[in-house]
């Protein structure tokens, strides 16, 4: 796990740190990348840190982090770690989950 | 099993031939006795094998054993992907087995925790490509050949209907490209539409489907394994009883070709001269004999004499007694002068007591098979198989006993099994005791109550391939040993015991009487003949006398006539000339 508690961390909430595990060029993965960037725009997530990790680059890394399916979105910050699987097409669920404390 | 291995070697060396015939799938041996025979050489390489079954039917143990043995026996490293249990749980559940992977390094057997945390959120469609990419890397690093996806249904069920099929195909293509022997396990028998649909699809796509089942019958756990399908190859379609024993997955059955075993013409003694004569010349080597009878009919004794005779021939005999104490068996048999103790001491006889309590028939089979392996006897006595027959349902027990008989036959072991029957009529029992159709010889011992006593009657109901006596014999037990006596038949009734003795004495007496009567008759006849002869002599004499008298009279008459004629001539001469009219003088 990457530790990111930024200097601007406040009680209100730190900026989100998200990691999206994908397997390009899988259609689910490509859709998830699109859906996430759209969501970020809509939610005003300019502050968010978003890493996109392709399984082809570090195939064993995903397994190590307990990531099995493509795509998987991991909320690294704030804790607790939350995982969302799927192409993020169910936007309402994604937003609700990311806001979860 | 070595034969199977060489078969696949032969298959691969065929490639050098110019004409390439379509061949069945290349296979990976499981090194589980029975499974490799049922699959005719193992699970398909580069293809998907599905192991299904209810909860607790042994899917995980089977899959893990194939993986662990894959490395231990064939040096093929493997990966176990656990979707439902943690790797620690999986390992600890298998820790007691001899093949337990506890000591294997992660280069040899890697366990991957693939459980989805319960609070994972799903937001749309997903696929397995990250998992497969990760596995590809591991497979490459380890040189792994076998991969198990344990309870993959847990993950696939999260997919929308229709999407799971896509992922199963993805998995199938991945296996082929990675040269992996793959086992998927999935629950069956859960009445849930989504699971049933998934199950159907897995069965459809998998090249080999192994179904495990687990049920309770009369309080005894019964497991079985069945190969539902296996594309492109021969396989055994029969359901095979299974036990999760100390060695892991154990399959009950006869492994090896029975037909290959030549039938023996050699005879072995039953231990009783008279019975040997009734059977033609004893039992056939490698045959099985069933001795039925109600309690106390000396079935055990028949087993005892058979085993003792084997020991005296210098063959090792194994006597397995169920729910009895060894010392009691020895003592009881010594009362009919069967000396087990000295044979045991000499190492010729193994007398083994087996407890039947809460054991399934299948477990009995495995226990007996293990004893056969350990002691390698030439003769086996099971006293009695009723215990096995009762364990966990009759039909199951029957199948086990039949297989046991096939096993001993294939090993060339001569088997004598006793069985308790409750009815006095053996043929009424025949349908219930179907083992009698498998047994080569069937001897029935019954009680005949007659004249206030009970005697044992022995009949050979059948004996394959031998001319055998159809006679009923009385089985006589005494401290001198065991013998068979001819019975007496009077007016269609069989006499035994005291009645037989009386009958025999009576017969002796009446024989003497008959002899006397004959003598008298002969004398009478002689007398008659003598008398007749005398009479006929008398008559002949009388006739002779008559003849003599007659001759005498006729001679007298002749001379008188002659005298008279002479006198007349003289007178004529005297009276001439008037001699014509002269009156003839009559002779006086």
- Going by pLDDT thresholds of 50, 70 and 90, the confidence category of residue B394 is low
| Residue B17 in this model has a pLDDT that exceeds 80 | no
Sequence-distant (≥ 6) Cβ neighbours of residue B279 within 8 angstroms:
B270, B441, B460, B463, B466, B468, B469
**What is the CATH number assigned to the segment(s) B267-486?**
3.40.50.300
For residue B134, give the nearest of A63, A87, A91 by CB distance. Answer: A63
Kindly list the residues from chain A whose CB atom is less than 8 angstroms away from the CB atom of residue B123.
Answer: 84-91, 93-94, 97
What's the pLDDT at B580? Answer: 56
Question: Which secondary structure element, helix H or strand E, spans residue B392, and what is its range?
Answer: none
For residue B117, give the nearest of A56, A83, A97 by CB distance. Answer: A83
Q: How many beta carbons lie within 10 A of that of residue B300, not counting itself?
A: 21
**pLDDT per residue of chain A (101 residues) written in tens, 0 to 9:** 444 443 333 335 678 888 999 998 889 999 999 999 998 888 887 888 888 999 888 888 888 888 889 899 998 888 888 889 999 988 888 888 888 77
* pLDDT tens column, B448-474: 777 777 788 888 888 887 777 777 888
For residue B130, give the nearest of A62, A93, A94 by CB distance. Answer: A62
> B34-38, B423-427, B481-485, B509-513: lowest mean pLDDT where?
B423-427
- Going by pLDDT thresholds of 50, 70 and 90, the confidence category of residue B585 is low
Question: Rg of chain A's alpha carbons, rounded to an integer?
Answer: 13
Q: Do B120 and A69 touch (CB under 8 A)?
A: no
pTM of the model: 0.62
What's the pLDDT at B105? Answer: 85
A63 touches B at CB < 8 Å:
yes
Residue length of chain A: 101
Nearest Cα to Cα of residue B154 among B195, B125, B106, B123:
B195
| A vs B: CB pairs below 8 A | 104
Kindly list the residues from chain B whose CB atom is less than 8 angstroms away from the CB atom of residue A59.
Answer: 130, 133-134, 136-137
For residue B129, give the nearest of A70, A83, A93 by CB distance. Answer: A70
Question: Which secondary structure element, helix H or strand E, spans residue B569, and what is its range?
Answer: helix B497-575
Nearest Cα to Cα of residue B476 among B294, B270, B339, B274:
B274
Tokens 């993950």 map to which residue?
A: B155
Mean pLDDT of chain B: 82
| Residue B297 in this model has a pLDDT that exceeds 90 | no
For B142-204, the three-class secondary structure string (H helix, E strand, C coil) is: HCCCEEEEECCHHHHCCCCCCHHHHHHHHHHHHHHHHCCEEEEEEECCCCCHHHHHHHHHHHH
What's the pLDDT at B567? Answer: 83
- Going by pLDDT thresholds of 50, 70 and 90, the confidence category of residue B533 is very high
User: In whole angstroms, what separates CA B56 from the centre of its chain?
Assistant: 33
Within chain B, all domains assigned CATH 3.40.50.300 are found at: 2-9+23-251, 267-486
A70 touches B at CB < 8 Å:
yes
| Residue B16 in this model has a pLDDT that exceeds 50 | no
Q: Do B126 and A60 touch (CB under 8 A)?
A: no
Q: What percent of chain B has pLDDT over 90?
A: 29
Q: Which fold has domain B2-9+23-251?
A: Rossmann fold (3.40.50)
Q: Which two tokens stand for residue B574?
A: 């005297």
Q: How many beta carbons lie within 10 A of that of residue B92, not counting itself?
A: 13
CATH of A17-99, one of 3.40.30.10, 3.20.20.370, 1.10.10.60, 3.30.420.60: 3.40.30.10
For residue B126, give the nearest of A35, A82, A87 by CB distance. Answer: A87
What's the pLDDT at B237? Answer: 85
Sequence-distant (≥ 6) Cβ neighbours of residue B219 within 8 angstroms:
B358
What's the pLDDT at B483? Answer: 84
Longest dimension (CA), chain B: 192
Helix spans in chain A (H): 27-42, 59-64, 91-99
What's the pLDDT at B490? Answer: 65
What residue segments make up the domains of chain A, in order of their start? 17-99
- Four-residue CA torsion sign, B48, B52, B57, B60: positive
Longest dimension (CA), chain A: 39
- Going by pLDDT thresholds of 50, 70 and 90, the confidence category of residue B130 is very high
- What number is the average pLDDT over the span B155-175? 89
How far is the CA of A15 from the CAs of A73, A99, B202, B539, in angstroms?
16, 11, 44, 161
Q: Which two tokens stand for residue B330?
A: 């020895």
| Residue B37 in this model has a pLDDT that exceeds 80 | yes
Q: How many beta carbons lie within 10 A of that of residue B162, not counting itself?
A: 9
Distance from CA of A76 to the nearest CA of B (A): 14
Q: Quote the crossing angle between the two packed helices A27-42 and A91-99, to the nearest 10°.
A: 60
Test mutation, B128, B129, B166, chain A, max A CBs within 10 A: B129
A87 touches B at CB < 8 Å:
yes
Sequence-distant (≥ 6) Cβ neighbours of residue B206 within 8 angstroms:
B47, B48, B49, B50, B184, B229
**B125 → chain A, closest CA residue:** A86
Residue B8: helix, strand or coil by DSSP?
A: helix
* pLDDT tens column, B225-260: 899 999 988 888 888 878 887 788 888 765 544 445
Helix spans in B293-440 (H): 299-313, 326-334, 340-345, 361-375, 386-390, 394-411, 426-430, 435-438
What's the pLDDT at B219? Answer: 61
Nearest Cα to Cα of residue A22 among A73, A61, A66:
A73
Q: Do B125 and A94 touch (CB under 8 A)?
A: no
Residue length of chain B: 588
What's the pLDDT at B393? Answer: 58
Q: B281-286 — which CB contacts under 8 Å span 24+ positions?
A: B281/B466, B283/B414, B283/B416, B283/B440, B283/B441, B284/B414, B284/B440, B284/B465, B284/B466, B285/B412, B285/B414, B286/B261, B286/B408, B286/B409, B286/B411, B286/B412, B286/B413, B286/B414
What's the pLDDT at B491? Answer: 64
What's the pLDDT at B6? Answer: 43
- Cβ atoms B107, B77 nearer than 8 A: yes
- Going by pLDDT thresholds of 50, 70 and 90, the confidence category of residue B562 is confident
- Cβ atoms B439, B402 nearer than 8 A: no
A14 touches B at CB < 8 Å:
no
What's the pLDDT at B442? Answer: 87
| Residue B504 in this model has a pLDDT that exceeds 70 | yes
What's the pLDDT at B254? Answer: 54
| Residue B523 in this model has a pLDDT that exceeds 50 | yes
**ipTM score of complex:** 0.86
For residue A26, give the nearest of B117, B129, B136 by CB distance. Answer: B129
Q: Do B134 and A59 touch (CB under 8 A)?
A: yes
Question: Which secondary structure element, helix H or strand E, spans residue B475, and what is its range?
Answer: strand B473-478
* pLDDT tens column, B174-229: 998 988 999 999 988 778 888 888 888 899 999 999 999 888 765 667 788 899 99
Q: Do B126 and A28 touch (CB under 8 A)?
A: yes
* pLDDT tens column, B88-112: 999 998 999 999 988 888 889 999 9
Q: Which two tokens stand for residue B557?
A: 């008459």
User: How far is Cα B509 from Cα B176, in angstroms, rounded to an integer?
Assistant: 93
What's the pLDDT at B577? Answer: 58
Kindly list the residues from chain B whose CB atom is less than 8 angstroms away from the CB atom of residue A86.
Answer: 122-126
What's the pLDDT at B9? Answer: 43
What DSSP state is assigned to residue A88? Answer: S
């Amino acid at each position: 796990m990457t530790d990111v508690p930024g200097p601007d961390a406040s009680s209100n909430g730190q900026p989100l740190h998200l990691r999206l595990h994908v397997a390009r060029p899988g259609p689910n993965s490509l859709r998830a990348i699109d859906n996430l960037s759209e969501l970020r725009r809509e939610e005003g997530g300019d502050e968010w840190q978003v890493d996109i990790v392709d399984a082809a680059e570090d195939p064993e890394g995903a397994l190590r982090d307990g990531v099995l399916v493509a795509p998987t979105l991991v909320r690294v910050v704030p804790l607790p770690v939350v995982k969302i699987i799927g192409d993020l097409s169910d936007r309402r669920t994604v937003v609700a989950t990311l806001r979860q404390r | 099993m070595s034969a199977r291995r060489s078969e696949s070697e032969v298959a691969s060396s065929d490639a050098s031939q110019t004409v390439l015939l379509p061949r069945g799938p290349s296979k990976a041996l499981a090194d589980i006795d029975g499974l490799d025979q049922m699959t005719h050489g193992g699970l398909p390489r580069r293809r998907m094998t599905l192991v299904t079954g209810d909860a607790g039917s042994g899917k995980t143990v089977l899959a893990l054993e194939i993986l662990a043995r894959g490395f231990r026996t064939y040096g093929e490293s493997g990966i176990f992907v656990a979707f439902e249990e943690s790797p620690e749980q999986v390992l600890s559940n298998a820790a007691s087995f001899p093949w337990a992977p506890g000591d294997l390094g992660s280069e040899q057997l890697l366990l991957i925790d693939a459980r989805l945390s319960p609070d994972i959120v799903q937001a749309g469609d997903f696929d397995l490509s990250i998992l497969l990419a990760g596995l590809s890397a591991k497979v490459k690093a380890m040189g792994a050949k076998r991969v198990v996806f344990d309870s993959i249904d847990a993950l696939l069920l999260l997919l929308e209907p229709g999407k799971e099929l896509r992922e199963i195909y993805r998995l199938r293509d991945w296996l082929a490209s990675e040269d992996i022997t793959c086992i998927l396990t999935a629950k069956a028998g859960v009445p849930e539409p989504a699971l049933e649909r998934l199950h159907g699809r897995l069965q459809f796509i998998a090249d080999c489907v192994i179904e495990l089942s687990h049920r309770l019958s009369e309080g005894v756990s019964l497991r079985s394994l069945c190969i539902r399908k296996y594309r492109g190859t021969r396989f055994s379609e029969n359901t095979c009883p299974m036990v999760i024993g100390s060695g892991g997955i154990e399959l009950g059955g006869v492994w090896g070709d029975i037909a290959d075993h030549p039938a023996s013409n050699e005879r072995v003694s039953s231990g009783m001269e008279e019975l040997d004569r009734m059977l033609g010349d004893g039992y056939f080597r490698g045959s099985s004999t069933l001795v039925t009878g109600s309690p106390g009919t000396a079935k055990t004794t028949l087993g005892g004499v058979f085993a003792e005779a084997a020991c005296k021939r210098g063959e090792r005999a194994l006597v397995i007694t169920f729910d009895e104490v060894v010392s009691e068996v020895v003592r009881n048999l010594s009362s009919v002068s069967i000396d087990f103790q000295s044979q045991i001491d000499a190492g010729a006889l193994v007398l083994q007591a087996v407890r039947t309590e809460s054991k399934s028939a299948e477990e009995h089979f495995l226990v007996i098979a293990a004893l056969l392996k350990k002691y390698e006897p030439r003769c086996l006595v099971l006293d009695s198989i009723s215990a096995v027959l009762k364990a966990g349902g009759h039909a199951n027990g029957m199948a086990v006993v039949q297989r046991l008989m096939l096993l001993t036959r294939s090993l060339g072991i001569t088997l004598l099994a006793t069985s308790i029957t409750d009815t006095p009529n053996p043929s009424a029992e025949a349908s219930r005791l179907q083992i009698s159709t498998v047994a080569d010889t069937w001897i029935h011992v019954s009680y005949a109550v007659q004249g206030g006593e009970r005697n044992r009657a022995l009949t050979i109901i059948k004996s394959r391939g031998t001319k055998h006596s159809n006679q009923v014999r009385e089985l006589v037990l005494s401290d001198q040993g065991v013998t068979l006596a001819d019975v007496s038949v009077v007016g269609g009734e069989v006499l035994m015991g005291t009645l037989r003795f009386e009958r025999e004495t009576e017969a002796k007496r009446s024989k003497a009487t008959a002899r006397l009567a004959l003598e008298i008759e002969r004398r009478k006849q002689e007398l008659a003949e003598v008398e007749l002869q005398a009479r006929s002599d008398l008559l002949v004499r009388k006739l002779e006398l008559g003849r003599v008298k007659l001759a005498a009279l006729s001679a007298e008459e002749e001379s008188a006539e002659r005298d008279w004629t002479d006198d007349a001539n003289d007178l004529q001469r005297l009276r001439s000339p008037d001699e014509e009219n002269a009156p003839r003088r009559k002779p006086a």
